[in-house]
Amino acid sequence: MSLDTLIDICVGIGLSAAAGFRLLMPFLILSLAALFGHFPVSPDIQWVNSLPALETLGFAVAVEVLAYFIPWLDAALDVVALPASIVAGTVLTAAFATDLDPFLKWSLAILAGGGVAGAMRGLTGFSRLLTTTFTGGLANFLVAILEVVGAVLLSILAIALPGIAAITVIGLLAVVIRIGWRVWPKTKQSDQPDVPNEG
């Protein structure tokens, strides 16, 4: 695997992670970078390199961000956010892994791109669960703001410094694994029925 291919994969995975925080934000950042000549997009995602795409994505991102500040709409979006993020992550990674064999390309896109996006979505979902539990949902807007900031920063890093973006994603994955490692045993224990003492 060449260095250029590895860098492209890092770009795709970084953008996929950003999609886990905010579904459409990496597409918007990619569109901006392409239109202003800062980043040559691959043929598979060339559609972002147009003014109509930028305008549409800008409007869609604004709606997506504002929707998360409306409690009932926030809850509704969370239902579809995980599968949508996985699809977006898969598409983004596949779009940049163009030099790979098709089987390897889509395997990587599904496992790495979709997996990373799903993990980041899980991290934000867990954060929302905590804020809902301890603040009754009043602090959910803080999580929403952090998600936007995370999506923007990761998208910019993926385009400007793909290696740093990949390292950042690995660090975030470590956080997800650590949280899962702590929460999963407690979940298993709570699912087990209480066995009455005999005698």
> Rounded to whole angstroms, how far apart are CA atoms 19 and 151?
7
Number of domains in the chain: 1
Mind listing the pLDDT tens digit of every residue in the chain (199 residues)? 688 889 889 999 999 999 999 989 999 999 999 998 878 887 778 899 999 999 999 999 998 888 777 767 776 777 788 899 999 999 999 998 888 888 999 999 999 999 999 999 988 878 877 777 777 766 777 888 888 999 999 999 999 999 999 999 999 899 888 877 776 665 555 555 555 555 4
Per the listing, tokens 């407690």 go with 186
> Rounded to whole angstroms, how far apart are CA atoms 151 and 163?
17
Let me know if residue 198 belongs to a domain: no
- pTM > 0.95: no
Let me know if residue 11 belongs to a domain: yes
Considering only CA atoms, which of 95, 86, 81 is closest in space to residue 12?
95
Let me know if residue 125 belongs to a domain: yes
Let me know if residue 196 belongs to a domain: no
Let me know if residue 199 belongs to a domain: no
Q: Domain limits at 54?
A: 3-189
Let me know if residue 63 belongs to a domain: yes
Let me know if residue 195 belongs to a domain: no
Q: Which residues contact 180 (CB under 8 A, 6 or more apart)?
A: none
pLDDT at 84 (0 to 100): 92
Helix residue spans in the chain (DSSP H): 3-21, 25-35, 51-67, 71-96, 102-108, 115-135, 140-160, 162-191
